[in-house]
Structure 1
Amino acid sequence: MASLLPARATRTVSCSAYRSVVRPSSAQLALPLVRPSSAQLALPLVRRNYSTPAEEEPVDYASKPRWSYTPPRAKAPFSLHYNSRRPEFPVNSDPQVLDRFYVGFLGPGGENVLNEETKWLAVTHKSFDQGRRGFNDRLAFLGKRIVCLQASLALVQSPPNSPPVSSDAYGREPFAHPALEGLPNLTMGAENFALSKENLAALAQEYKLPAVVRWSPRKPHNLHASGVDLVLAHTLYALIGAIALEKGGQVANKVARERILQPLGFKVTG
Structure 2
Amino acid sequence: MTEKDEVEKEEGGRRGESIQVIARAAAILRALAGQSDGLSLGQIARRVELPRSTVQRIVGALAAEQLVTVGRTGEGVRLGPTLALLAAAAQTDLLSVAQPHLEALTRRVHETVNLSVFQGNQAVCVAISQSERELSVRSFLGSSFPLYCTAHGKALLAEMSDEDVTRLVGSRIEPLTVNTVRSLPQLLAQLREVRERGMAFDLGERTEGICAVGVTLRLATGPRYALSIPVPSLRFEAQLPMLREELLRCREDIEAAAGVALRPAASFVGKPE
User: Which structure has the larger Rg over C-alpha atoms?
Assistant: 1
Settle same-fold status: TM greater than 0.5.
no
TM-score when normalising by structure 2:
0.26
TM-score when normalising by structure 1:
0.26
Please identify which structure carries the higher strand content.
2
